[in-house]
Structure 1
Amino acid sequence: MTSMADDVVVTNNESEKRYEARLGGELAGFAEYQLTDELVVFTHTEVDPAFEGKGVGSALARFALDDVREAGTRKVLPLCPFIKGWIERHRDYVPLVYGVRPSTATD
Protein backbone atom coordinates (compact mmCIF):
# COMPACT_ATOMS: atom_id res chain seq x y z
CA MET A 1 0.00 0.00 0.00
CA THR A 2 1.36 3.42 -0.94
CA SER A 3 0.09 6.96 -0.67
CA MET A 4 1.06 10.19 -2.36
CA ALA A 5 0.11 13.57 -0.96
CA ASP A 6 1.89 16.65 -2.25
CA ASP A 7 4.67 14.43 -3.66
CA VAL A 8 5.23 12.63 -0.32
CA VAL A 9 5.09 8.88 -0.93
CA VAL A 10 4.43 6.78 2.20
CA THR A 11 4.82 3.02 2.44
CA ASN A 12 4.69 0.46 5.22
CA ASN A 13 8.11 -1.17 5.50
CA GLU A 14 6.90 -4.21 7.44
CA SER A 15 10.37 -5.78 7.70
CA GLU A 16 11.66 -2.66 9.50
CA LYS A 17 8.36 -2.15 11.38
CA ARG A 18 8.01 1.43 10.27
CA TYR A 19 6.12 3.61 7.86
CA GLU A 20 8.50 5.49 5.57
CA ALA A 21 7.94 8.76 3.76
CA ARG A 22 9.93 9.63 0.69
CA LEU A 23 10.12 12.93 -1.12
CA GLY A 24 11.83 12.99 -4.49
CA GLY A 25 12.94 9.40 -3.87
CA GLU A 26 14.81 10.31 -0.68
CA LEU A 27 13.87 9.00 2.75
CA ALA A 28 12.35 12.06 4.39
CA GLY A 29 10.93 10.53 7.58
CA PHE A 30 9.57 7.48 9.30
CA ALA A 31 7.15 6.39 12.02
CA GLU A 32 8.30 3.32 13.95
CA TYR A 33 5.84 0.87 15.45
CA GLN A 34 5.60 -2.38 17.35
CA LEU A 35 2.82 -4.91 16.87
CA THR A 36 0.91 -7.00 19.37
CA ASP A 37 -2.12 -9.18 18.68
CA GLU A 38 -4.39 -6.23 19.50
CA LEU A 39 -2.27 -3.09 19.06
CA VAL A 40 -0.11 -1.03 16.78
CA VAL A 41 2.16 0.82 19.21
CA PHE A 42 3.67 3.93 17.63
CA THR A 43 6.98 4.52 19.39
CA HIS A 44 8.86 7.16 17.43
CA THR A 45 8.39 9.48 14.46
CA GLU A 46 11.22 11.36 12.85
CA VAL A 47 11.42 13.77 9.92
CA ASP A 48 14.79 14.70 8.45
CA PRO A 49 15.39 18.42 9.12
CA ALA A 50 15.91 18.99 5.38
CA PHE A 51 12.27 17.98 4.81
CA GLU A 52 10.57 19.73 7.73
CA GLY A 53 7.63 21.94 6.85
CA LYS A 54 6.79 19.96 3.71
CA GLY A 55 3.94 17.88 5.16
CA VAL A 56 6.04 14.76 5.69
CA GLY A 57 4.97 14.20 9.31
CA SER A 58 1.30 14.70 8.54
CA ALA A 59 1.49 12.40 5.52
CA LEU A 60 3.13 9.73 7.69
CA ALA A 61 0.55 10.02 10.45
CA ARG A 62 -2.46 10.05 8.14
CA PHE A 63 -1.24 7.14 6.03
CA ALA A 64 -0.26 5.00 9.04
CA LEU A 65 -3.54 5.59 10.86
CA ASP A 66 -5.58 5.04 7.70
CA ASP A 67 -3.68 1.79 7.19
CA VAL A 68 -4.54 0.63 10.72
CA ARG A 69 -8.17 1.66 10.26
CA GLU A 70 -8.43 -0.13 6.91
CA ALA A 71 -7.02 -3.37 8.34
CA GLY A 72 -9.59 -3.16 11.15
CA THR A 73 -7.85 -5.71 13.37
CA ARG A 74 -5.92 -3.56 15.86
CA LYS A 75 -6.20 -0.42 17.95
CA VAL A 76 -3.50 2.26 18.17
CA LEU A 77 -1.39 3.02 21.23
CA PRO A 78 0.36 6.33 20.42
CA LEU A 79 3.41 6.49 22.69
CA CYS A 80 5.09 8.79 20.18
CA PRO A 81 4.28 12.43 21.07
CA PHE A 82 3.96 13.40 17.41
CA ILE A 83 1.38 10.71 16.56
CA LYS A 84 -0.47 11.39 19.81
CA GLY A 85 -0.63 15.13 19.07
CA TRP A 86 -1.66 14.54 15.48
CA ILE A 87 -4.58 12.38 16.63
CA GLU A 88 -5.61 15.09 19.11
CA ARG A 89 -5.75 17.61 16.23
CA HIS A 90 -7.59 15.17 13.93
CA ARG A 91 -10.38 13.92 16.16
CA ASP A 92 -11.84 11.54 13.59
CA TYR A 93 -8.89 9.23 14.38
CA VAL A 94 -9.60 9.12 18.14
CA PRO A 95 -11.79 5.98 17.84
CA LEU A 96 -8.66 4.07 16.75
CA VAL A 97 -6.95 4.75 20.08
CA TYR A 98 -6.76 1.89 22.54
CA GLY A 99 -8.83 2.43 25.67
CA VAL A 100 -11.01 5.20 24.27
CA ARG A 101 -14.66 4.53 24.99
CA PRO A 102 -16.86 4.96 21.92
CA SER A 103 -19.06 7.53 23.73
CA THR A 104 -16.06 9.83 24.31
CA ALA A 105 -14.31 9.27 21.00
CA THR A 106 -15.79 12.34 19.31
CA ASP A 107 -16.30 14.61 22.33
Structure 2
Amino acid sequence: MSESVEHNEGEQRFEIIADGEQAGFAHYSLAGGVADFDHTEVQPRFNGRGLGSTLVRGALDQVRAAGQWQVRASCPFVATFLKRHPEYADLVADEG
Protein backbone atom coordinates (compact mmCIF):
# COMPACT_ATOMS: atom_id res chain seq x y z
CA MET A 1 0.00 0.00 0.00
CA SER A 2 1.51 3.33 -1.04
CA GLU A 3 0.21 6.66 0.24
CA SER A 4 1.03 10.28 -0.41
CA VAL A 5 -0.48 13.62 0.54
CA GLU A 6 -0.63 16.25 -2.17
CA HIS A 7 -1.59 19.92 -1.97
CA ASN A 8 -4.25 20.89 -4.52
CA GLU A 9 -4.09 24.67 -4.19
CA GLY A 10 -6.71 25.28 -6.87
CA GLU A 11 -9.30 23.34 -4.86
CA GLN A 12 -7.95 24.59 -1.50
CA ARG A 13 -7.43 21.12 -0.15
CA PHE A 14 -4.91 18.45 0.62
CA GLU A 15 -5.60 15.08 -0.97
CA ILE A 16 -4.45 11.64 0.07
CA ILE A 17 -3.57 9.25 -2.72
CA ALA A 18 -3.65 5.57 -1.75
CA ASP A 19 -2.75 2.80 -4.15
CA GLY A 20 -2.86 5.24 -7.06
CA GLU A 21 -6.29 6.76 -6.43
CA GLN A 22 -7.63 9.68 -4.46
CA ALA A 23 -8.87 8.26 -1.17
CA GLY A 24 -9.83 11.47 0.58
CA PHE A 25 -9.21 15.15 1.19
CA ALA A 26 -8.98 17.86 3.82
CA HIS A 27 -10.51 21.14 2.60
CA TYR A 28 -9.50 24.54 3.96
CA SER A 29 -10.40 28.20 3.49
CA LEU A 30 -7.50 30.63 3.52
CA ALA A 31 -7.87 34.15 4.90
CA GLY A 32 -5.34 36.45 6.53
CA GLY A 33 -2.63 33.81 6.63
CA VAL A 34 -4.85 31.30 8.45
CA ALA A 35 -5.97 28.07 6.81
CA ASP A 36 -9.26 27.02 8.39
CA PHE A 37 -9.64 23.28 7.88
CA ASP A 38 -13.40 22.92 7.61
CA HIS A 39 -14.02 19.45 6.17
CA THR A 40 -12.13 16.17 6.02
CA GLU A 41 -13.40 13.13 4.16
CA VAL A 42 -12.08 9.66 3.38
CA GLN A 43 -13.97 7.46 0.94
CA PRO A 44 -15.76 4.66 2.82
CA ARG A 45 -13.94 1.85 1.03
CA PHE A 46 -10.69 3.15 2.54
CA ASN A 47 -12.00 3.26 6.12
CA GLY A 48 -10.05 1.47 8.82
CA ARG A 49 -6.63 2.14 7.32
CA GLY A 50 -5.78 5.28 9.29
CA LEU A 51 -5.79 7.42 6.16
CA GLY A 52 -7.59 10.31 7.85
CA SER A 53 -4.78 10.75 10.35
CA THR A 54 -2.15 10.25 7.65
CA LEU A 55 -3.88 12.93 5.57
CA VAL A 56 -4.06 15.49 8.37
CA ARG A 57 -0.48 14.80 9.48
CA GLY A 58 0.74 15.21 5.89
CA ALA A 59 -1.21 18.43 5.43
CA LEU A 60 0.10 19.94 8.66
CA ASP A 61 3.65 18.89 7.85
CA GLN A 62 3.38 20.68 4.50
CA VAL A 63 1.88 23.78 6.15
CA ARG A 64 4.79 23.80 8.61
CA ALA A 65 7.40 23.32 5.86
CA ALA A 66 5.97 26.21 3.83
CA GLY A 67 6.09 28.46 6.91
CA GLN A 68 3.43 30.80 5.56
CA TRP A 69 0.23 29.91 7.42
CA GLN A 70 -1.25 29.13 10.75
CA VAL A 71 -4.20 26.76 11.04
CA ARG A 72 -7.64 26.71 12.57
CA ALA A 73 -9.80 23.60 12.81
CA SER A 74 -13.53 23.99 12.19
CA CYS A 75 -13.55 20.33 11.17
CA PRO A 76 -14.07 18.10 14.24
CA PHE A 77 -11.67 15.46 12.89
CA VAL A 78 -8.83 17.97 12.48
CA ALA A 79 -9.63 19.55 15.88
CA THR A 80 -9.40 16.15 17.58
CA PHE A 81 -6.15 15.36 15.74
CA LEU A 82 -4.62 18.63 16.95
CA LYS A 83 -5.67 17.93 20.55
CA ARG A 84 -4.08 14.49 20.40
CA HIS A 85 -0.88 15.74 18.75
CA PRO A 86 0.51 18.69 20.70
CA GLU A 87 3.60 18.70 18.48
CA TYR A 88 1.49 20.74 16.03
CA ALA A 89 0.38 23.35 18.61
CA ASP A 90 2.78 25.92 17.16
CA LEU A 91 0.72 25.97 13.95
CA VAL A 92 -2.61 26.75 15.65
CA ALA A 93 -3.81 30.33 15.22
CA ASP A 94 -4.71 32.28 18.34
CA GLU A 95 -8.45 32.57 18.78
CA GLY A 96 -8.18 36.06 20.27
Query: Does the alignment reach a TM-score above 0.5?
Result: yes
1:104 corresponding residue in structure 2: none
2:32 corresponding residue in structure 1: 37
Q: Which has the larger radius of gyration?
A: 1
1:65 corresponding residue in structure 2: 60
1:26 corresponding residue in structure 2: 21
Greater RCO, CA 8 A, separation 6+: 2
Segments of 4+ moved more than 6 angstroms? none
1:103 corresponding residue in structure 2: none
1:48 corresponds to which of 43, 46, 52 = 43
Q: Following superposition of structure 1 onto structure 2, how do residues 92-107 of structure 1 map, counting pairs within 5 Å?
A: 92-99=87-94
Q: Secondary structure at the match of 2:88?
A: helix
What amino acid sits opposite 1:73 in the alignment?
Q
Q: Secondary structure at the match of 2:68?
A: coil
**Aligned partners of 1:74 and 1:16: how far apart in 2?**
17
| Normalised TM-score (structure 2) | 0.91
Q: Secondary structure at the match of 1:92?
A: helix
- For the aligned residue pairs, the C-alpha RMSD in angstroms reads 1.6
Runs of 5+ consecutive residues of structure 1 not aligned to the other structure: 1-5, 101-107
**Aligned partners of 2:87 and 2:18: how far apart in 1?**
26
Runs of 5+ consecutive residues of structure 2 not aligned to the other structure: none
2:80 corresponding residue in structure 1: 85
**Aligned partners of 2:28 and 2:55: how far apart in 1?**
12
